[in-house]
Amino acid sequence: MPLLAEDGRVSARWGLRRPTEGDIRAGGFSTPWDAPTIPPFPFRFRNAEILTLYWRTDPEAMAFLLPPPLEPVGDVACVHIYKMNDTDWLGPYGEANVMVGARLGDRMGAYSPYLALSSDVGVAHGREVHGQPKKLANLSLDYRGDLVVGRIERNGIDVLTGTMAYKQRAVSPDALKPHFDFATNLNLKAVDHIDGRPAIRQLTSRRLSEVVVHEAWGGPCTVELRPNAQLPVFRLPVVEPLEGFLWRADFTLVPGEIIHDYLTVSP
């Protein structure tokens, strides 16, 4: 039996309905329409294991990576290396988010110049919805005896390797953000029309919801960067490694907001 009936509707055998123009205009739409790639909000992350590492970097490097009118805050960068064990739609995968403190007026948060993950669904969702600069990579979070080792690998190069001691000092969830509020994520969303004209030029913001931290551990850390032209985290050089945190949490990804629209604001 064909997928489409003679009148264009999806065959009842498949239990599906052909989208209308209204469906396509509505929010939450994703292609292909019979097997969409982009998850609708909200979706839940359960039992995520996270290694968060902070290091002091070059303030000029931070400023170079920030799109105006965002301004840098401080001189500290961080990376979160996630072992996502159970995520709606995406399933288990690895992710890494490199962040620097930033602000837009009185709005404080953390800007992501680089993100990497092992899920094609996660790459598509991050780029199409949030404007995050996600690229495919191999991520690992390993426990090697008394050492926690986090790694970002792309193109056969270990772009970032970070370590901290295994669960030596328990800390409260409030201790996880000593330098900036990384729960508020700022991103540059840039999408063109097919003819090359700019379609979207926005700064977006989103904040994780329903965060439950099951455990958190802190201690000194190390961060090693290696150059890679496709994932140039080395542009945030390690001046001084600071503290690291190993934590386990649940959280929900919910819709965000547009905080600056370059196409509607007069230059």
CATH superfamily of 44-181+209-256: Acetoacetate decarboxylase-like (2.40.400.10)
Read off the amino acid at residue 7.
D
What is the distance between the alpha carbons of residues 45 and 84, in angstroms, rounded to a whole number? 7
User: Which pLDDT belongs to residue 166?
Assistant: 98
What is the distance between the alpha carbons of residues 7 and 220, in angstroms, rounded to a whole number? 66
Mean pLDDT per block of 10 residues along the chain (267 residues) reads 45 66 86 86 96 98 97 98 97 98 96 98 95 97 98 98 98 97 96 97 96 98 98 98 98 96 86
What is the distance between the alpha carbons of residues 65 and 236, in angstroms, rounded to a whole number? 9
Q: Domain map of the chain by residue range?
A: 1-36, 44-181+209-256
Q: Return the bridge partners of 192, or none.
A: 198
User: Which pLDDT belongs to residue 4?
Assistant: 46
User: Which pLDDT belongs to residue 5?
Assistant: 46
What is the distance between the alpha carbons of residues 56 and 69, in angstroms, rounded to a whole number? 23
CA 203 to chain centre: 15
Does residue 134 have an active-site annotation?
Answer: yes
Six-digit token string for 233: 């985290």
User: Which pLDDT belongs to residue 23?
Assistant: 85
User: Which pLDDT belongs to residue 15?
Assistant: 63
Q: Are strands 107-117 and 134-136 parallel, antiparallel or unpaired?
A: parallel
Given the residues 83, 134, 135, 189, select the one marked as catalytic.
Answer: 134
User: Which pLDDT belongs to residue 20?
Assistant: 87
- pTM value? 0.92
